[in-house]
Amino acid sequence: MANKKINRIDINWRALLKLEWVYCFFAFGFGLIFIALLAPGWSPDEPQHYWRAQQVAHGDLMPNEFKDEKNNVYSGGQLLPDENRFILSYQGFEGLTDHSLRLNFPMWENEGAIAQRAAQVNTVAVAFPGSARYSPVVYAPQAVGLFIANVLALPLLAGFILAKLFGLIVQVAAFAAAIRITPKGKWIFFTIGLLPSTVVQSAALGGDVMTTSVSVLFIATVIKLAFDTKKIVWWHIGLIAVFIALLGLVKPAYLPLAAIAILIPIFNKSFRKKSKIAISSAVLVLAALPGMLWLKATSFIQDNYSHGVDPSAQQQYVLHEPLNFIATLFNTYFTDAQPKLYKTLFGNFVWDTAPIPFIFMLLCAVVMVITLFVSSPREKKITFPVYVKVLFLAISGLLVTAISYGLYVYYTAFKDTSILGLQGRYFIPFLPLVGLAFLNPGPQKQQKWIKVAVVLSLVALLVSAVVVLIFRIYK
């Protein structure tokens, strides 16, 4: 009897253990856990993000204004009544001891309601001033999930979960691609991508997914093109232009990040012709126009500022008293004026409603420092000159200042000495630049156990985040 050959699937374990795949395993796995744990509306601003994402999913890309019966002006859009009721129905779960509303569909979410909603043409005006001004690009991943759910007439909760799932997929793919393509600092992208605040934000329905994804992928792409020996062709410039356009559309305050593109002609010899530099510079400047045009198109929106906020007066105050603004920055970042600022980077997630214990915050900070001393064997032996490191830090400082200025002018009371609304998650998109500026890896032979410690520490942080959420929400 002839011996039968047994078909065997050979698993390339070495390929699976590449850093980007290790990242995908943990980021996507824990992301799914967070999606399952986080109930709709649990994050403070999530309802407004959900309404704007639903508006985009329905093909209504532009926000609009409307007046109520008291002639007050609000910005938002037209949505189906059930879409408005859905997210609001979950906001009462805090008072329920059995958490039934959190774990089940609302009473009205049944097959009859789904069929009725599918045929519904009447809409209601819903105000979401906190998200109305955001471009459709901000909610592109979530809108895809909601669109699929709407087409298939799925329950609203199923659509909500699909929206978060698509957001998670986009951010995990962006970090994985950044880890793969960057010729330097792979472990920096790996560590930042696995911070509890980063992973949980990718699993929440909000506006951070596209901002973070575009920023980290843009940084990695520029580093690759600048320090790659391959010839730069025009489609590379087109790709950089697309990234800059996306930055302007997702968050104009992050446009200063585009300045790192200057590294390409400095370090890549194939891009030093004056004509090529001139044409490319013009293209990249024009790439910022879509974001500016969107701001112009939505300038009709009347912001409902909180008590004491006067943007016009605040702008004049900063212009005429710049030293006072500098003092405000110092007070905000280096005193206890904003105690939640650093907590929301290392220890808190989904805004500041689920704080990780201090010991895990300290561990997170230590891991960030240790990461600066490790590297992947696949990385090129590149040494950033001092002026490049200074450039990275200068751009990071400019971004911090731009974000701070915007929050000071539009959200902080007139002449207040502390900036209101600053959260550590705002710095995650450009945090790789800070890491690259201080990157100083040692010999590969000495890095093995350090890398193991980094991975185990990050997993411990994510496990602690899961435990905190369970006790915080389902206690």
Q: Which of 184, 281, 279, 278 is nearest to 228 (CA)?
A: 184
The pLDDT score that the predictor gives to residue 166 is 97
Is the pLDDT at 53 greater than 90, yes or no?
A: yes
Name the token pair of 150. 């709407």
Name the token pair of 25. 């395993």
The pLDDT score that the predictor gives to residue 444 is 78
Place of tokens 């710049």: 322
Q: Which of 179, 215, 205 is nearest to 194 (CA)?
A: 179
Is the pLDDT at 157 greater than 80, yes or no?
A: yes
Kindly list the distances between the CA atom of residue 292 and the CA atoms of 154, 234, 289, 299, in Å, as whole numbers in the listed order.
Answer: 37, 24, 5, 11
What is the dihedral sign for C-alpha 90, 92, 95, 100? negative
- pLDDT category at 99 given cuts 50, 70, 90 is very low
The pLDDT score that the predictor gives to residue 247 is 94
SS (H, E, C) 460-472: HHHHHHHHHHHHH
Over residues 131-153, the pLDDT tens digits come to 989 999 999 999 999 999 888 88
Place of tokens 């500098």: 326
The pLDDT score that the predictor gives to residue 1 is 45
Is the pLDDT at 96 greater than 50, yes or no?
A: no
Asked whether 257 and 218 are in contact (CB, 8 A), the reply is yes
- pLDDT category at 2 given cuts 50, 70, 90 is very low
SS3 content of the chain, % helix, strand, coil (to 5): 65, 5, 30
* Alpha helical stretches, state H, 186-344: 186-193, 196-203, 208-227, 234-250, 263-267, 274-286, 289-297, 311-320, 322-334, 340-342
d(CA 95, CA 100): 11
Name the token pair of 216. 């980290």
d(CA 7, CA 309): 70
Is the pLDDT at 43 greater than 70, yes or no?
A: yes
Asked whether 219 and 247 are in contact (CB, 8 A), the reply is no
Is the pLDDT at 386 greater than 70, yes or no?
A: yes
Over residues 365-380, the pLDDT tens digits come to 899 999 999 998 888 8
The pLDDT score that the predictor gives to residue 143 is 96
The pLDDT score that the predictor gives to residue 40 is 81
3-state secondary structure of 303: coil
Least confident interval from 74-78, 175-179, 388-392, 444-448: 444-448
DSSP state of 343: I
The pLDDT score that the predictor gives to residue 232 is 77
Asked whether 259 and 284 are in contact (CB, 8 A), the reply is no
Longest dimension (CA), the chain: 95
| Backbone dihedral angles phi then psi of residue 126, each to the nearest 5 degrees | -120, 130
Q: DSSP assignment of 170-223, as one string?
A: HHHHHHHHHHHH-SS-HHHHHHHHTSHHHHHHHHSSSSHHHHHHHHHHHHHHHH
| Backbone dihedral angles phi then psi of residue 89, each to the nearest 5 degrees | -65, -20
Is the pLDDT at 245 greater than 50, yes or no?
A: yes
Asked whether 79 and 146 are in contact (CB, 8 A), the reply is no
Q: Which of 37, 32, 156, 31 is nearest to 93 (CA)?
A: 37
Over residues 158-215, the pLDDT tens digits come to 889 999 999 999 999 999 999 999 999 999 999 999 999 999 999 999 889 999 999 9
Angle at 337 between CA 333 and CA 339, to 5 degrees: 80
- pLDDT category at 357 given cuts 50, 70, 90 is confident
Give the global pTM: 0.90
The pLDDT score that the predictor gives to residue 103 is 45
Beta bridge partners of 67: 73
d(CA 382, CA 185): 10
Beta bridge partners of 64: 76
CB atoms within 10 A of CB 255: 17
| Backbone dihedral angles phi then psi of residue 399, each to the nearest 5 degrees | -65, -40
Is the pLDDT at 4 greater than 80, yes or no?
A: no
What is the dihedral sign for C-alpha 199, 202, 206, 208? positive
Name the token pair of 214. 């575009």
The per-residue pLDDT of the chain, averaged, comes to 84
d(CA 377, CA 223): 17
Least confident interval from 88-92, 150-154, 239-243, 261-265: 88-92
3-state secondary structure of 298: coil
d(CA 270, CA 198): 36
Is the pLDDT at 119 greater than 70, yes or no?
A: no
Q: DSSP assignment of 146-167, as one string?
A: HHHHHHTT--HHHHHHHHHHHH
Of residues 322 and 44, the one with the higher pLDDT is 322
The pLDDT score that the predictor gives to residue 190 is 97
Name the token pair of 223. 């580093």
The pLDDT score that the predictor gives to residue 90 is 65
